[in-house]
């Protein structure tokens, strides 16, 4: 049992014995003692003062005496109004360090076959263009969230739904037919997703020309958009696709495969993965069938024009279209179909959709509809909503001039990292410099994005993200590499790092105690991140840990320490810190360099 749980259990027992107050350990508030007062942990007693009918100081004094008598690790206490500050024994800090060092999975909850199954959907790209900056935030959040949920004892299935059908796909296909001259990723040397994206842009360019031409001939803008030959051809192609035309379907399959190969390269480079990928072309028909079932059961209704709707007025919303009058589906229909297939394949206990905040209303409606259709997790589905990512003006213009794609962003991050680490890596080979720049550049990108509350719109500045002195991934990675350097030097000098320490011969100083306490906080940080669905909790915990270690490192010599027992203790403290940093960053999908 960890010390905080021991104390909270003792407080629950004490208030029952002393005041007849019924409570549970999880209701007891414990926090770190602020630096202005002696103590290590503080129990907030305000919750018990009114029921105890005593002054805050009196309650604190009685609880302090009870805890000191029943918890061996507590050696002293002081009371400041409603705050009971507890001082822990030296052996408690050493026991804590030994326990963390001995447990390679410290802070993580083991997963068994009976654990809740959580499905996390993220990425959700369109097959008419490359992944862009918005997808980067989406993918990093989704992957990190999956890792955090798994670390909290859940079984996790990571899924992706690919939007591979619709008019936007036909626009790229038509442009390639007209102006591609048989170009392929192999013949052009372009990634497949970039190649198809270029034709989507070309379609838009030529379409706008036709619109302007028709306007100059006297048509209104709305009429011109409808009557432009290109859009009419694209709509005709979409109709052929819906009818299963072999030529259109073959072209669609070929071009989509180019895109998927490009996506896979980007995903691998980004360090994200999926357990199952769904495709809208396979789910929308299932959705239509499910809507028809809902129609038959009375969950939905059909209007006179043949369209199918859901009336959500009782839920405080409006009416929602599910099938158009010609029987074609809408996005909501596709999501219902995807949910149906997922529920057939997996016994989902919880469903989390990682999608931008512009879709808040969509998922509010989807939750109600899935509940009506009988999905047990429908009412409790989670829309993990996040804000947009913006870049400083003039930074990293994309090939379209409006949106930065993921590959360009990662290229720029690695380039920036190579430039900013040049002085540090002069003695390294070219291959080593490039590999470290890759790790640092992508780590900087991931950390900068994940340390921010996902609900916030954020400004991402590549240069600021690679700063070795601030709240950045690079600072944390450098701290890890610094510890590895110390451990290598110890090994070269024949100094072995112990696996555990005796608890009766050492006295830890203030910096050492603070670092042990910060290490012990990893368990609660992982738990909090899981409860709040917040990778930023892990990011900011890791920064605080790295900062705490560097303060310790500055004040406490390790290999130059003359007392062998103290040197061994500090070596174990450093190695354990490195292991927690590595595990914490793994929850964010960030690698660590051994040298830097």
Phi, psi of 205 (to 5 degrees): -65, -50
Identify whether 561 is part of a domain.
Answer: yes
Identify whether 547 is part of a domain.
Answer: yes
pLDDT confidence of residue 176:
97
Question: Are 387 and 116 contacting, i.e. CB atoms less than 8 angstroms apart?
Answer: no
Instruction: Choose among 201, 185, 246: nearest CA to 399.
Output: 201
Identify whether 77 is part of a domain.
Answer: yes
Instruction: Choose among 122, 63, 99: nearest CA to 519.
Output: 99
Instruction: Decide which of 259, 274, 289 is a domain's last residue.
Output: 274
pTM (predicted TM-score): 0.91
User: Using one digit for the tens of pLDDT, what is the confidence trace for 385-428?
Assistant: 998 887 776 444 444 445 788 999 999 999 999 988 888 888 88
Identify whether 397 is part of a domain.
Answer: no
Identify whether 171 is part of a domain.
Answer: yes
User: Using one digit for the tens of pLDDT, what is the confidence trace for 268-286?
Assistant: 999 999 999 999 999 999 9
pLDDT confidence of residue 465:
84
DSSP 405: B
CATH number of the domain within which 495 lies: 1.10.730.10
Specify whether 75 is located in the same domain as 169: no
Residue 308 Cα to chain centre, angstroms? 37
Q: How far apart are CA 144 and CA 271, in angstroms?
A: 10
Instruction: Decide which of 225, 250, 274 is a domain's last residue.
Output: 274
Identify whether 398 is part of a domain.
Answer: no
N- to C-terminal Cα distance for the chain? 38
Specify whether 163 is located in the same domain as 52: no
Specify whether 84 is located in the same domain as 161: no
Q: How many structural domains compose the chain?
A: 3
Instruction: Decide which of 59, 88, 117 is a domain's last residue.
Output: 88
CB burial of residue 441 (10 Å; 0-12, 13-18, 19+)? buried
Instruction: Choose among 505, 502, 511, 510: nearest CA to 574.
Output: 511
Give the strand pairing for 389-390 and 382-386: unpaired
CA angle at residue 296 from 293 to 301, to 5 degrees? 105
pLDDT cut 70: percent of the chain above it: 98
pLDDT confidence of residue 404:
83
Specify whether 162 is located in the same domain as 269: yes
Q: Which residue has the tokens 């936007």?
A: 168
Domain with 254 in it: 157-274
pLDDT confidence of residue 3:
87
Specify whether 72 is located in the same domain as 167: no
CATH number of the domain within which 44 lies: 3.30.1360.70
pLDDT confidence of residue 51:
87
Element (H, E) at 7: helix 3-19
Question: Are 319 and 311 contacting, i.e. CB atoms less than 8 angstroms apart?
Answer: yes
> What is the number of alpha carbons within 13 Å of residue 356 lying toward its C-beta?
14
Q: Two tokens at 369?
A: 């509809």
Q: Which residue has the tokens 């414990």?
A: 30
pLDDT confidence of residue 32:
87
Sign of CA dihedral 509, 512, 516, 521: positive
Instruction: Choose among 148, 122, 274: nearest CA to 584.
Output: 148
pLDDT confidence of residue 198:
94
Max CA separation in the chain (angstroms): 94
Q: Which residues of the chain have pLDDT under 50?
A: 394-401
Identify whether 348 is part of a domain.
Answer: no
Identify whether 534 is part of a domain.
Answer: yes
């Amino acid at each position: 049992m960890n010390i905080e749980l021991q104390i909270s259990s003792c407080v629950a027992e004490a208030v029952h014995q002393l005041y007849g107050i019924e409570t549970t350990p999880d209701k007891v508030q414990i926090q770190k003692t602020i630096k202005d007062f002696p103590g290590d942990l503080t129990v907030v007693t305000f919750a018990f003062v009114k029921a105890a009918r005593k002054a805050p100081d009196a309650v604190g004094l009685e609880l302090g005496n009870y805890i000191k008598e029943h918890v061996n690790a507590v050696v002293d206490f002081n009371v400041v109004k409603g705050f009971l500050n507890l001082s822990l024994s030296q052996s408690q800090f050493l026991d804590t360090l030994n326990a963390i060092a001995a447990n390679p999975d410290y802070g993580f909850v083991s997963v068994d076959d009976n654990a809740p199954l959580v499905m996390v959907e993220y990425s959700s790209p369109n097959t008419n263009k490359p992944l862009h900056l918005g997808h980067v935030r989406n993918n990093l959040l989704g992957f990190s969230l999956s890792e955090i949920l798994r670390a909290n004892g859940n079984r996790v299935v990571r899924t992706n739904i690919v939007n591979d059908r619709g008019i936007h796909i036909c626009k790229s296909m038509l442009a390639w037919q007209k102006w591609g001259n048989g170009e392929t990723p192999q013949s052009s040397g372009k990634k497949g997703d970039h190649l198809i994206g270029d034709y989507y842009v070309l379609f838009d360019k030529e379409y706008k020309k036709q619109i302007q031409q028709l306007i100059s001939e006297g048509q209104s803008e709305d009429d011109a958009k409808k009557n432009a030959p290109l859009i009419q051809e694209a709509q005709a192609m979409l109709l052929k696709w819906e009818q299963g035309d072999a030529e259109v379907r073959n072209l669609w399959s070929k071009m989509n495969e180019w895109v998927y190969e490009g996506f896979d390269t980007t995903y691998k480079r980004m360090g994200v993965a999926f357990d199952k990928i769904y495709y809208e072309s396979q789910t929308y028909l299932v959705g239509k069938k499910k809507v028809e079932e809902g129609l038959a059961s009375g969950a939905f209704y059909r209007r006179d024009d043949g369209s199918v709707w859901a009336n959500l007025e009782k839920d405080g919303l409006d009416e929602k279209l599910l099938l158009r009058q010609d029987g074609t589906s809408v996005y909501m229909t596709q999501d219902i179909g995807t949910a149906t297939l997922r529920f057939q394949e997996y016994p989902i206990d919880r469903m989390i959709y990682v999608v931008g905040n512009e879709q808040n209303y969509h998922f509010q409606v989807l939750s109600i509809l899935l509940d009506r259709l009988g999905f047990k997790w429908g009412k409790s589905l989670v829309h993990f909503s996040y804000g947009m990512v913006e870049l400083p003006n003039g930074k990293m213009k994309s090939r379209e001039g409006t949106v930065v794609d993921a590959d360009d962003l990662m290229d720029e991050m690695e380039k920036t990292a190579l430039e900013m680490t040049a002085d540090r890596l002069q003695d390294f080979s070219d291959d080593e410099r490039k590999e470290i720049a890759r790790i640092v550049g992508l780590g900087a990108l991931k950390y900068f994005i994940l340390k921010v509350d996902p609900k916030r719109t954020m400004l991402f500045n590549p240069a600021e993200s690679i700063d070795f002195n601030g709240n950045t991934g690079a600072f944390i990675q450098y701290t890890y590499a610094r510890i590895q350097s110390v451990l290598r030097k110890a090994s070269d000098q024949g100094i072995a790092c112990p696996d555990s320490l005796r608890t009766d011969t050492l006295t830890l100083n203030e910096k050492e105690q603070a670092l042990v306490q910060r290490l012990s906080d990893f368990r609660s940080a992982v738990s909090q991140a899981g409860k709040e669905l917040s990778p930023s909790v892990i990011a900011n915990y890791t920064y605080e840990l790295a900062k705490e270690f560097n303060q310790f490192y500055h004040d406490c010599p390790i290999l130059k320490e003359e007392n062998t027992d103290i040197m061994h203790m500090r070596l174990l403290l450093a190695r354990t810190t490195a292991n927690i940093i590595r595990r914490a960053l793994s929850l964010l999908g960030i690698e660590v360099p051994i040298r830097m």
